[in-house]
Chains A and B, each alone.
Chain A
Amino acid sequence: MIHKSDDPVIRCDGVWKIFGARASEALDAVRSKGLSKEEIRDRYDCVVGVCDASFDVGRGEIFCIMGLSGSGKSTLIRHINRLIEPTAGSIYIEGQDVNALSARELRRTRAEKIGMVFQNMALMPHRTVLENVAFSQEVRGHDVRERTQTALRAIRAVELNGWEDKYPDELSGGMQQRVGLARAIAADPAILLMDEPFSALDPLIRRQLQDKFMSLSAEMKKTTLFITHDLDEAIRIGDRIAIMKDGVLVQIGTPEDIVTNPADDYVADFVAGISKLDLISAGKIMEPIDAYTRRDGPIDFDAWPEAHPNQSLDQLVDLSIATQHPIVVKLDGRPLGVVTKNALLRGIKGDTAPAASAA
C-alpha cells in the first residue's frame, strides 16, 4: 500500500450515529424527510448523536471540535477508534476503513496507533500512575522493563515524576488529567484523540499544558483530534476548528475563518466574545490602495507607519498609537492598501468588511 504523504490520517465520510433500538428506521426518516432531532426523539425514541459528519485531518494537524454540551463531540470522537460503530458512514485511519478491521487488528491499531484522553479521565483506580500509563504497552505484551521505561518517559513529559507509585485517588484532578495525557502518549501513537483533556485545570496550568502539548505534538508530528468547549483554547492550539451543533458540523475552517466569517448565527454567537487581536491580519481589513486614492486623492505616505499584510491587529494597534496617520500596508516595498483608524477599530470588533463600503 502506498500512501501519498498528503493523504488524510483521519477521514470521516458521512458518519451518522443514532442511538436507540430503531436507529436504522430513524436514519431513513431523517434522510428522506429531514426530521429534526426533537422529532426523531419523539417519534422513534432515538437520539441523534452525530449527523452526517465528514472531515479530513492531515498528518501533524491539530483539528479542534467545538460545540455546546450534548452536541455530539464525544460521540463523534469515539467513532475514530471504533469504541462505537456508526449507524451509517465510514471512518478511515491512514486509508484503512476502521469498521472493516478484524478484532485483532483493531486492538493493535488502538494500542499502537491511537492514544486517547477521556473527558472523565477514566483512570484505573486499582493501578498506580505507572501501571496506568504503561497499560497499552502491557496489553501488547511488552516486557516490564521496556514498558516501565516508556511509561516513565511519558510521566516525565507531563512533569509528574515522583508520583509514579501513587494511586489515582491520591492525585488532584489536574494531575489525574496529566496522567491521562501521559497514558495517551506513552505508546508514542501517531494519532491522539483528546476529549476535553484540560477542562479540569486552573487557567495557569491549563496554559502551561496547552503549550506543553503543542510543542509535544509539533515535535512528534502527532495528528490530533481535540475536543474542547473553550473557544480560546481551540484558537490557541487548533490548526483548524470544526463547530458542532446538535450533531451537525456547521462550520469547518481555520480559526481566522471561523472568527471572521461565521457561517451562521450559532457560530457567530460562539465567536462573539473572542478577542480578534491575534487572529485578524492587516491584509483582511485594509482598504485597497486604488480605492483609497480614488476617494482621497494621491497621497504621500512617507510619514505613515508601514505594516506587512500578515501583521496582526495587535501589532497594528501599536503602530497606530504612535501617530495620527493611517497605516500603509506594503508588500516588498509596494503599497497594497491602507488601514485607517476606523478600519482598525472595526477590525478589533471583528468587522472585516472593506472600509470603502462602510464609508
Chain B
Amino acid sequence: MDEDTTFNILDPFSSIDLGIADSAGGIKQWAIANRDLIQPIKAVFNDIVTAIDGALNAVPPLVMLALITLIAWQAAGRRTAILVGLCLFALGLLDPNAWSLAMTTLAIVISAVTACFVIGLPLGILAAKSDGFERLLRPVLDLMQTIPAFVYLVPVVMLVGIGNVSGVIVTIVFALPPLIRLTSLGIRGVNPSVVEAARAFGASPRQILLKVELPLATPTILAGVNQTIMLSLSMVVIASMISVKGLGNEVLRAMGRLDAGKAIVGGLGIVILAVVLDRISQGMGQSGRERGQRHWWQSGPVGLAWRLTRARNETTPPVSAAPRTEVQSN
C-alpha cells in the first residue's frame, strides 16, 4: 500500500505530475511549425494597421485636433467638445513627440475596437438568442478577462510574431468580453411585449432584430463599445512589450531606464487619450432625444450646417419643423 514513501495522503498534489506545463509547451512547438500559414494573413492586417497609423499621422495635428473636436461636438454636445479640444491641446504640449505617438496608439485602438465590434456584435446577438450558446460562452469570456495577458502573450508571439498584429490580437482578447456581454444583455433587455407586437404585425426574425431589437439595445451596446475602448487603452503598455509602437512603448522604455519624466509623459498621454475617447463614445450612447433634439442631424456641427443651408435657400419648412429650428429661422 505505502510503497511510495513520498506520497502523503494529506498532500497528494506535490507527488502527482500530469505534465500539463510540458504538454502546453507542445502548443508552442505547433505554433512555430505553423507560422508559414499565418504570415500572409498577418501581412494583410499589418498593412491595414500601418495604413491607419499613416493616415492619422499624415493629417496635420491642428487639423486632426479640430476634426476630433467636431466629432465630439456631434456625438456628445458642445461642452464635451470643449473639454476634448482642451485635452488634445494639452496632449500636444506634453512633448514634441507626444502627438505622433498618440496617433499611433489611436491607430492600434481603432483597429482593435473595430475588430472587437466585428467579432463581438454577432457573438453577442447569438448569445442573446440562444441560452445554450450564452452558457457556453460565459466561461470563455470570464477566462479571456481574467487570464493574465502574459500567459497568452507568448503563444501569440510564437504564432504571429511580434508587431502590430499581435498587439491587436492581444488587445482583442482582453477587450472583447464586455462588448459581447453588453450586446447580449441589451438585446435580452428589450421589452418582450414590443417584440411580440412586431411579431404580431408580421415581422420576420431578421426584421425584428434590425428594426426593433438592435435599435432598442443600442445604448447598451454602445456602453459595451465604450468599455472595449477603455480596456484597449489599458492594454497599450503590455502590447508595447511585443514591439507595438506608440505611447505605451514610451512608458515601457521609461520603465526600463527608470526615467520618471518620460514615464509621466507617456502615462499622461494615455490618460488624456482615454478621457477623449471615453467622452466621445459615451456621448454616442446617449440618444439625441435625451438632450432635447429630435434627430441627430439637427444638432452639433451637422445641425449648424443644415440650418445654415436652409436659411440660405429660404425653403418652406417641412410640416413637422421642430421648435428649435423654427426659433432659428425667425
- Tell me if A37 is interfacial: C-beta within 8 Å of chain B: no
Q: Which of A12-20, A65-73, A134-142, A266-274 contacts B (4 or more CB under 8 A)?
A: A134-142
Number of A-B contacts (CB under 8 A): 63
- Tell me if B202 is interfacial: C-beta within 8 Å of chain A: yes
Count of chain B residues with a beta carbon within 8 Å of a chain A beta carbon: 20
Knowing A125-B216, A165-B294, the reply to whether A136 touches B202 (Cβ < 8 A) is yes
Inside 8 A of A81's CB, which chain B residues have their CB? 200
- Tell me if A92 is interfacial: C-beta within 8 Å of chain B: no
- Tell me if B215 is interfacial: C-beta within 8 Å of chain A: yes
Chain A 71-107, CB-CB to B under 8 Å as 1, else 0, gives 0000000000101000000000000000000010001
Is B194 in contact with A139, judged by CB distance below 8 angstroms?
Answer: no
Mostly, the B contact residues are: helix
Contact of A139 among B193, B202, B215 (CB under 8 A): B202
Distance A123 CA – B215 CA, assembled complex (angstroms): 14
- Tell me if A118 is interfacial: C-beta within 8 Å of chain B: yes
Contact of A116 among B197, B203, B212, B294 (CB under 8 A): B197
Is B294 in contact with A83, judged by CB distance below 8 angstroms?
Answer: no
Is A124 in contact with B201, judged by CB distance below 8 angstroms?
Answer: no
- Tell me if B204 is interfacial: C-beta within 8 Å of chain A: yes
Knowing A139-B207, A165-B320, A167-B289, the reply to whether A125 touches B200 (Cβ < 8 A) is no
Distance A103 CA – B208 CA, assembled complex (angstroms): 14
Count of chain A residues with a beta carbon within 8 Å of a chain B beta carbon: 28
Knowing A122-B193, A124-B194, A139-B207, the reply to whether A164 touches B320 (Cβ < 8 A) is yes
Distance A229 CA – B113 CA, assembled complex (angstroms): 53
Is A83 in contact with B200, judged by CB distance below 8 angstroms?
Answer: yes
Inside 8 A of B200's CB, which chain A residues have their CB? 81, 83, 110, 114, 116, 118
Chain B 213-225, CB-CB to A under 8 Å as 1, else 0, gives 0011000000000
- Minimal Cβ-Cβ distance residue in B for A169: B289
- Tell me if B196 is interfacial: C-beta within 8 Å of chain A: yes
Distance A252 CA – B254 CA, assembled complex (angstroms): 86
Is A107 in contact with B198, judged by CB distance below 8 angstroms?
Answer: no
- Tell me if A212 is interfacial: C-beta within 8 Å of chain B: no
Interface residues of B in 20-47 (CB under 8 A from A): none
Is B202 in contact with A122, judged by CB distance below 8 angstroms?
Answer: no
Inside 8 A of B216's CB, which chain A residues have their CB? 124-126
Distance A165 CA – B199 CA, assembled complex (angstroms): 23
Inside 8 A of A107's CB, which chain B residues have their CB? 202-204
Distance A187 CA – B201 CA, assembled complex (angstroms): 10
Q: B159 CB to closest chain A CB, in angstroms?
A: 43
Contact of A122 among B196, B207, B289 (CB under 8 A): B196
Knowing A110-B201, A136-B201, A167-B289, the reply to whether A83 touches B320 (Cβ < 8 A) is no
Is A112 in contact with B202, judged by CB distance below 8 angstroms?
Answer: yes
- Tell me if A245 is interfacial: C-beta within 8 Å of chain B: no
Inside 8 A of A139's CB, which chain B residues have their CB? 198, 201-204, 207, 211
Is A124 in contact with B202, judged by CB distance below 8 angstroms?
Answer: no
Is A135 in contact with B320, judged by CB distance below 8 angstroms?
Answer: no
- Tell me if A207 is interfacial: C-beta within 8 Å of chain B: no
Inside 8 A of B203's CB, which chain A residues have their CB? 107, 135, 139
Inside 8 A of B207's CB, which chain A residues have their CB? 139
Is B199 in contact with A110, judged by CB distance below 8 angstroms?
Answer: yes
Inside 8 A of A118's CB, which chain B residues have their CB? 193, 196-197, 200
Knowing A126-B216, A164-B320, A165-B320, the reply to whether A83 touches B198 (Cβ < 8 A) is no
Distance A107 CA – B211 CA, assembled complex (angstroms): 16
Is B199 in contact with A124, judged by CB distance below 8 angstroms?
Answer: no
Contact of A124 among B198, B289, B294, B320 (CB under 8 A): B198
Is B204 in contact with A122, judged by CB distance below 8 angstroms?
Answer: no
Distance A103 CA – B204 CA, assembled complex (angstroms): 9
Chain A 44-64, CB-CB to B under 8 Å as 1, else 0, gives 000000000000000000000
- Minimal Cβ-Cβ distance residue in A for B201: A136
Is B197 in contact with A124, judged by CB distance below 8 angstroms?
Answer: yes
Q: A294 CB to closest chain B CB, in angstroms?
A: 61
Given contacts A83-B200, A122-B191, 10 further A-B contacts (CB under 8 A): A81-B200, A110-B202, A111-B201, A111-B202, A118-B193, A118-B200, A122-B196, A135-B198, A139-B207, A164-B320
Chosen A-B contacts, 7 in total, with CB atoms closer than 8 Å, are A107-B202, A107-B203, A110-B202, A116-B197, A116-B200, A135-B211, A165-B294
* Contacts from B to A (Cβ < 8 Å): 191, 193-194, 196-204, 207, 211-212, 215-216, 289, 294, 320
* Contacts from A to B (Cβ < 8 Å): 81, 83, 103, 107-112, 114, 116, 118, 120, 122-126, 135-136, 138-140, 164-165, 167, 183, 187
Q: Which 8 A-B pairs have the closest CB atoms?
A: A111-B202, A122-B197, A165-B320, A136-B201, A110-B202, A122-B193, A107-B202, A139-B203
